[in-house]
Amino acid sequence: MNWYSYVGNNPVNNTDPTGLAYNIGGTIVKTITPEGHGGVEYASMRDLIAAYGGELSSEMTTSGGNSYYSGSAGLIEFQFFVMEHNKSTKRLSLLGRYNNWSSANIHKSEFYTENNTNYISVEYFCKLMCEMGFPKKVEKVSGHQAITKLRSGLSGKIGNAKLEAMCMVGQGLLDAGYPVSFVAGMLANIQAEDSVGIFESSYYPSYEALPNYLKFMEDNHNYREAYSDGIITEKSLSVLKTLLDELEGNNWQKGKFGLGSVQWTGNRTMDLVNLYIEEASGNDRITMDQALVAECRLMLQELTGSYRYVYTNWLEKNKNNSSSELAAENAASYICLEYVRPKNPETKAKERETLAKDIYKIMIG
């Protein structure tokens, strides 16, 4: 299926739909391969500098096409200048250790600018840094490899249905261009929540302990017997849609319930069931594989639509360190608090930070 159709054919951060990335000394750097550039793999200057331990303090691009970056890596101050040299080349200069200059002419095919972001050939940049005394182990990583590692690393540790849900969602988000750290945060929340297609449980210690919306469902729709802890593959989609239409008519003020791997409620439950119906292709029952695809679609729609701010806000707070265990932990917490919103969110956010850190290590290991 074409995941781009759910992100307006415009992957996040203009990343390559193959999910290709480089592991540079333990830091994942996403790449792009624009058409018409001979298959050269580019990464943003900002991301590459960060991968080598650099923290930018200044970044500027002039109207003439020259770019300037300054910052530090440990005790070492550095400056990068990318300047027009002639019609076919640019000159990349690095002022680093001992304040010695290192300059090299870069053919313009090694340099690329899009949406005011400067990209440079990963191969070229890493070679230059090695020559300057900053060697790093560099290896190519794909989204498919990350998911293979995830499946292998968690096999036997969690249920098969949940693992397949995580792999499906993870692959979809990677294909849509999200960094591994953010994906790990999302997957940590899925691991902590109920499985794909599972209905919210109404098995509380007592009736009085039920939230009011579930009391309404128990009193008016026999929810415990009909749906509680049930799975969507065993339910009639048409009957469920009729129930949701009724609840929506009351603006969800009286009754609702959670459904799916993120336990969507209210209007979001309706969105999910509509996607279930689409994936079922005219059948009144849905298969687990179809339910997995439907939930992936909804996550992608929300995170690139009404909930896109979850990603952009996280990225802004982690822009200098977006490929790290800490960034994965931050993603898990932020997604929990701003997207999943479970009961006792603060406590659960902390638990999911630990899961995200472990998932991230598995995916890049």
> CB-hemisphere CA count at 13 Å for 363?
34
Per-residue buried b or exposed e for 115-137, using 16+ beta carbons within 10 Å of the residue's own CB: eebbbbbbebbbebbeeeebebe
Identify the three-state secondary structure at position 157: coil
Share of the chain above pLDDT 90, in %: 40
pLDDT value for 7: 31
Q: How many CB atoms lie within 10 A of CB 8?
A: 9
| The dihedral sign for the CA sequence 264, 176, 25, 79 | negative
Q: Among the listed ranges 49-58, 86-95, 154-163, 279-288, which one has the minimum average pLDDT value?
A: 86-95
C-alpha 230/C-alpha 223 separation (Å) is 10
pLDDT value for 172: 80
On the question of pLDDT at 232 being above 90, the answer is yes
pLDDT value for 4: 29
At 256-270, the pLDDT tens digits run: 999 998 889 999 999
Query: pLDDT band at residue 125, thresholds of 50, 70 and 90?
Result: confident
Q: Among the listed ranges 22-31, 255-264, 347-356, which one has the minimum average pLDDT value?
A: 22-31
On the question of pLDDT at 212 being above 90, the answer is yes
pLDDT value for 66: 65
Q: How many CB atoms lie within 10 A of CB 204?
A: 12
On the question of pLDDT at 9 being above 50, the answer is no
Q: In the chain, where are the structural domains located?
A: 20-141, 143-365
On the question of pLDDT at 320 being above 80, the answer is no
Across 56-60, 150-154, 305-309, the highest mean pLDDT is recorded for 150-154
Continuous H helices in 52-132: 122-131
| DSSP letters spanning 249-274 | HTTTSS----BTTTTB-THHHHHHHH
Share of the chain above pLDDT 70, in %: 78
DSSP assignment letter at 64: T
